[in-house]
Structure 1
Amino acid sequence: MQCPVCNHENGDARFCERCGSNLTGNHASSDLTDTVTHTDSGSADSEYTRWSSTQQPASYEAAPTRSSSVSPVPSSVQDNENASNLGSADGSAQNQGANQWSNIVQNEKVQQAKEVSKQYLSYFLSVLARPYQSMKTVGEQHALHGLVTMILFALLTSTYVLITFGRLEADGLFISGFLRPLLYAAIILVVAIALIYGVLKLERITFRPKMLVAQLGTLLIPAIITLVLANVMIFISYSFALSLLVLSYIILFVSMNTLLFHHPLDRTKATIDSIYSVLIVNAVLFYVIYRLLTSVIAGFYSGLFSPFGRW
């Protein structure tokens, strides 16, 4: 221990060996100082050790917790999800494109139908004044108009029968009053075209089938007006409406004969004259109309006196 007076090193003595100063108080104070110093350093070390021991595991445990809560997604799963997202996007795009295309097609069809209806209306009005003169000037491009005229002829005929069945409260309106007359009227028109075609082939006349349909449809325009009047007049006078219906089919006969004689019928080397060929054609068409008409009338009376309810 160092003497505080003369700075002599005395070891563990209580009194200084050089000057005799009392070293007890300094020793105690130095021991106390050393004790306090060691105690403070120990406490600090213990605090640091305790803090580090409590903080480090927490930090080490926090990292696995975060890693467990947010686990890395495998690349295959991410690829599948990306592929599914791209597939759904492509599918929605394709569906949207298909819907847009269908809308465009529908709009085009509607526009085409409107254009055809406008063209047919102007064609109808122009032909109505001079059917025969118009028949000589039509071309193959009017075949669609002729076909529309024939469809209207069949529909108006079946509508007339349907209204008649409805006014007389007959049964089986849909079949006997609409479908059957519609089918029969279509058969009559097909037979008329087939007969004209056969005669022209027999006469060895060069012609085009589309032109034949266009010409016959042009000549049937007055029959359409007659059938429209018949469907209207049935609510006013049944007998007059029936007369108009008969007149429309007379126009069909006249149109067929007009179309036949429009072509140069010349069978000088044949055993039968052309007039007889035309008469045969008219007889066949009349027989077909008679048979179909009797079938419609038979269906009408069977529905009128049927004990079953209306279909």
Structure 2
Amino acid sequence: MKCQVCNHENGDAQFCEKCGSNLTGTHASSDPVDSVTRTDSASADSEYTHWSSNKESASHQPEPTRSSSASPVPSLVKETATVHSSNHEAPDHDTNQGSAGNQWNNFVQNEKVQQAKEVSKQYLTYFLSVLARPYQSMKTVGEQHALNGWLTMALFAVLTSTYVLITFGRLGAEGIFVSGFLRPLLFSAIILVAAVALIYGVLKLERITFRPKILVAQFGTLLVPAIATLLLANLMIVISYSFAISLLVLSYIMVFVAMNTVLFQHPLNRTKAAIDSTYSVLIVNAVLFYLMYRLLFSTIAGLLSPLFSPFGRL
């Protein structure tokens, strides 16, 4: 038992071993004190437990509140909205890409159309200026006019094929697109390319320095009157066959004239060549005439054979 005076621990003695105080009265009176102390400590413990539990509940209250009810719903709604928005935006994005691709294709097509119009305007200006003075224009053209020369040769081949197609179409022939348009187109192109190649060969044989692009530009410039003649020939088919075919023959005569003019534009026989210039010019004319005869004759024969085949069998 503990002495209330000196706080000395005693056993079961009635008096304190140190100070001699009576421990019986203290023991009797100490029970209420001890009970009060224990009551106070218990209440303090309960209060501390209540305070600590309140603190813990206060400290842990926000997280369950955030995690249980409020937080997941907005985040889930937000994620769901994001998924839906992405699902809705994907087709819109594809649609935008498709429309952008279509716009780009339209832009490219429009740009090509504009370029074609610009080239057509430039060629028309070139055509009209050359038509008035073809020989003078031939002497002043340069390498930049080589494209105009190729366009002129292409027009010559197309107009020849159109003339043949219209002529035999009016005669009632059927299935003549290949033999009446494509074959004359190919043969006319071969004739013009052969003419340029023959000029090139003669100038090389004569050992004359020249530029191939200028050669093409000069030859194409001299073919401009032949283009105008072929246009008239296509228009005159409706009025008169005889006049139209005369214009066609005249346009091919101009091919020979253009070839020889370009040849004599250069100083032939400037050096000692293997062959005289007179014979070289005659040879290239003979070769071109033979090609023209064979190609055009085969074209006309191929078109006339279906028309006169019944008479041939008789």
TM-score, length-normalised on structure 1? 0.70
Amino acid of the residue matched to residue 229 of structure 2?
T
AA at the equivalent of 1:258: T
**Within the alignment, does 1:203 sit opposite 2:216 as a pair?**
no
SS at match of 2:174: coil
Secondary structure at 2:267's aligned position in 1?
coil
Unaligned runs of 5+ in 1: 1-69
The structural deviation recorded for 1:77 is: 7.3
Contact 2:146/2:216, CA 8 A, preserved across alignment: yes
Tell me which residue corresponds to 2:96: 93
The structural deviation recorded for 1:277 is 1.1
Residue aligning to 1:116: 119
Q: Does 1:223 align with 2:226?
A: yes
Q: Is the 8 A contact 1:267 1:273 kept in 2?
A: no
Distance 1:77 1:128, change over 3 A: same
Report if the CA contact (8 A) 2:208-2:270 is conserved: no
CA distance in 2: counterparts of 1:145 and 1:133, whole angstroms? 16
Per chain length, whose mean CA-contact separation is higher, i.e. which structure has more relative contact order (CA < 8 Å, sep 6+)?
1
Which residue matches 1:163? 166
Structure 2: which 5+ residue stretches go unaligned?
A: 1-72
Residue aligned with 2:272, SS: coil
- In structure 1, the partner of 2:257 is 254
Change in 2 beyond 3 A, CA 1:153/1:78? same
Structure 1 residues 207 and 74, CA gap change in structure 2 (3 angstroms)? farther
2:248, 2:126 → 1: CA distance?
A: 23
Partner of 1:138: 141
> What's the TM-score once normalised by structure 2's chain length?
0.70
Shift of 1:170: 2.0
Q: CA deviation at 1:164?
A: 1.4
RMSD of equivalent CA atoms:
2.6
Cα distance between partner residues in 2 of 1:296 and 1:245: 15
Listed one character per residue, the Cα deviations across residues 237-286 of structure 1 (whole Å, up to 9, x for unaligned) are 21221111111000000000101111122254223112211111111111
CA shift for structure 1 position 201 = 2.0
Quote the Cα distance in structure 1 between the aligned partners of 2:134 and 2:107: 38
Equivalent runs, 1:1-311 vs 2, <5 Å: 83-266=86-269, 268-305=271-308
Contact 1:171 1:306 in 2 (8 A): no
Cα separation, partners in 2 of 1:85 and 1:250, compared to 1, 3 Å: same
Change (3 A) 1:239 1:84: same
Classify 1:134/1:225 alpha carbon distance in 2 versus 1 (closer, same or farther; 3 Å): same
1:150–1:217: 8 Å Cα contact kept in structure 2? yes
SS at structure 1 position matched to 2:259: helix
Query: How many percent of aligned residue pairs carry the same amino acid?
Result: 73
The whole-number CA distance in structure 2 between the counterparts of 1:244 and 1:295 is 20
Letter in 2 for 1:239: S
Per-residue deviation, 1:206:
2.5
* Equivalent in the alignment of 1:49: none
Aligned residue for 2:35? Answer: none
Asked if the contact 1:172/1:303 (under 8 Å) is kept, the reply is no
